[in-house]
Amino acid sequence: MTLLLDSPLDMHLHLREQEMLRLVAPFSAAQFAGGVIMPNLVQPVDSLPRLRDYRAAIIAACGPEPFTPYMTLFFRDYSRAELLAARDEVIGLKLYPAGITTQSEAGVADFDRIGTTVALLEELDIPLLVHGETAGFVMDREREFLAVYQWLAETFPRLRIVMEHITTAEAVAVLERYDNIAATVTLHHLMITLDDVAGGLLQPDLFCKPIAKTPRDREALRQAVFRGHPRLLFGSDSAPHPRDKKECCGCAAGVFSAPVALPMLAQLFEEADCLERLSAFVSGNARQFYRITPPQKPVGLQRAAWRVPELYGSVRAFLAGQELRWSLAGSGEAKV
């Protein structure tokens, strides 16, 4: 059996820089027509010159595969002139609460001061993408942040807001209440709970932010995704780290899922008996909410088993060593 997807998109992607960028970018480029690129580099992408340099590096790293990097700027106080100049080159601004995740120290420390910039985004029709967590108890952080989404949605009703990598049943409920809010969902949050991360021996390669939650939360995500909610978008949040940043004190947060994203999604949707809804989740919903038309890039999947390698360079992938039933059509992965 084969499955053809029309220009699939990854709406939340970390590609890093330099050697790591060159290692991981080809995996996303092989499966997707484009991806929304996160700006939280060591030096945040918070200016047009930085954005242009990073976009050029990404395109070079992807090699011959056609792949459109949909660029974001790191949220700060921007002038109207800066946002006007950037509007045609960005898909949105990415807001991080200060220090809440990898390389977010320059993020927002005082939400009472963001209104002027957010109002400009609404006026200029530039989406706002948000990592929605507080600095509270780790299992409550996303729930506590929902009041900020409510304030944004009601104060700026024409602003398009994306709740990034949602993990809770309460976040799904907020999505239902506001038409100007969409949300990305990762592959790993559709599959794991906190028990997989820390219920036995600690699994550093499953540690991410937001942290995986409860079976109830996972079920709420699955139900919303598999029933085809029109404002749920696939965003892998694929976030590679080398072994010395994972197997150490102070383990880095991030799950590297790029090599397995589409094959494992096909398996999940097939198991849920809704394979016909996969295309909307990985492409159609994002096109509608972001009002984008990606380049034509049909991507084929086939029901052919393969085993995920233990390592890709210095990085361990999600589901390493496991057998998947679906693979990219024409993939060179070893069959089992």
Write the burial class of residue 178 (CB in 10 Å: 0-12 exposed, 13-18 middle, 19+ buried).
middle
Q: How far apart are CA 92 and CA 164, in angstroms?
A: 12
In one-letter notation, the amino acid at residue 289 is F
β-bridge pairing 9-13 and 298-302: unpaired
DSSP letter (8 states) at residue 204? G
Name beta bridge partners: 10: 35
Strand partners, 6: 298
Which residue, among 236, 189, 185, 235, has the nearest Cα to 213 in the 3D structure? 189
Q: Among 116, 109, 107, 118, which residue's Cα sits nearest to residue 152?
A: 118
Instruction: Tell me if residue 298 falls in helix, strand or coil.
Output: strand
Give SS3 for 9: strand
* CB-based contact 128:91 (threshold 8 Å): no
Catalytic residue among 46, 205, 217, 237: 237
What are the start-end ranges of the H helices in the chain? 18-31, 48-62, 80-86, 115-124, 141-155, 169-177, 194-198, 215-226, 243-246, 261-271, 278-279, 285-290
Q: Is 237 a catalytic residue?
A: yes
Report whether 274 contacts 190 (CB < 8 A).
Answer: no
Rounded to 5 degrees, φ, ψ at 195 are -60, -35
Cβ burial of 323 (10 Å; 0-12, 13-18, 19+) is exposed
Tell me whether strands 327-328 and 298-302 are parallel, antiparallel or unpaired. antiparallel
List active site positions: 237
